[in-house]
Amino acid sequence: MVSASRHGEAVGIIGPSGTGKSTVLKIIAGLLAPDKGEVYIRGKKRVGLVSDDDISGLRIGLVFQSAALFDSLTVRENVGFLLYEHSSMSEDQISELVTETLAAVGLKGVEDRLPSELSGGMKKRVALARSIICDTTEESKEPEVLLYDEPTAGLDPIASTVVEDLIRSVHIKGRDARGKPGNIASYVVVTHQHSTIKRAIDRLLFLHKGKIVWEGMTHEFTTSTNPIVQQFASGSLDGPIRY
């Protein structure tokens, strides 16, 4: 049995396109049920989807590849969406919390903009803010696990660096854009980007044809003798991975 993420870890899932990386995230998040195998979260077996009673106290946030913002809502309404819908907080409280959370991901003064008015990198940061915001009146205040699906896809190298550093900053081992300690206990990143592997990940799982074929620390990635890993790391056309 391989652990996708242990407490405090920054884990990456890499591998060829179409091998099931994003599917793994959706299964962890409880959006899909596995066809085979078992999922354990905090030592408890997941028997259903997001409504599992036994693990209902665990907060898992998922940042989609496309950012998945509501086009007709402002940034404030996007980030605070779940709070507006389900919390007992007042609108002023939510608005203040949205501003604080956007500041944590390095965004200020964008609350009244629409997604169409934002750059790709800004949309990614808004999506991150939406994933880490939480009802401060609840006992469990922050997501314990964040799942990122290709967080730097479509971004230029500089924007990618900004997002990669933000992923680190909201982790418990980092400090956010306000200089405050991060609140995310663990995170899992699906990525193809070498810069994301280098800057935002500590341990890697290599997925190929639905199976984990290699596991190791980030610094071991480029020195691995596994032919699949070597081909992926170098981008060579010669090797066991065929398109």
Is residue 24 situated within a structural domain? Answer: yes
Is residue 189 situated within a structural domain? Answer: yes
Collapse the DSSP code of 175 into the 3-class scheme (helix H, G, I; strand E, B; otherwise coil) and give the result: strand
146: β partners: 61, 187
Number of domains in the chain: 1
Is residue 172 situated within a structural domain? Answer: yes
CATH number of the domain encompassing residue 186: 3.40.50.300
Q: For position 202, what pLDDT does the model report? A: 92
Q: For position 1, what pLDDT does the model report? A: 45
Contact 227, 239 (CB under 8 A): yes
Is residue 5 situated within a structural domain? Answer: no
Contact 233, 224 (CB under 8 A): yes
Task: Write phi, then psi, for 205 (nearest 5 degrees).
Answer: -120, 125
Q: For position 172, what pLDDT does the model report? A: 75
Which structural domain, as residue segments, surrounds residue 150? 10-68+139-234
pLDDT in tens, the chain (243 residues): 445 657 778 999 998 888 888 888 888 888 888 888 887 776 777 766 655 555 555 677 888 888 788 999 999 999 998 888 878 888 999 999 999 999 988 899 999 999 999 998 899 889 988 988 877 666 554 457 889 999 888 888 888 898 898 888 888 777 777 777 777 778 999 998 889 999 999 999 999 888 899 999 998 988 888 898 888 888 888 888 887
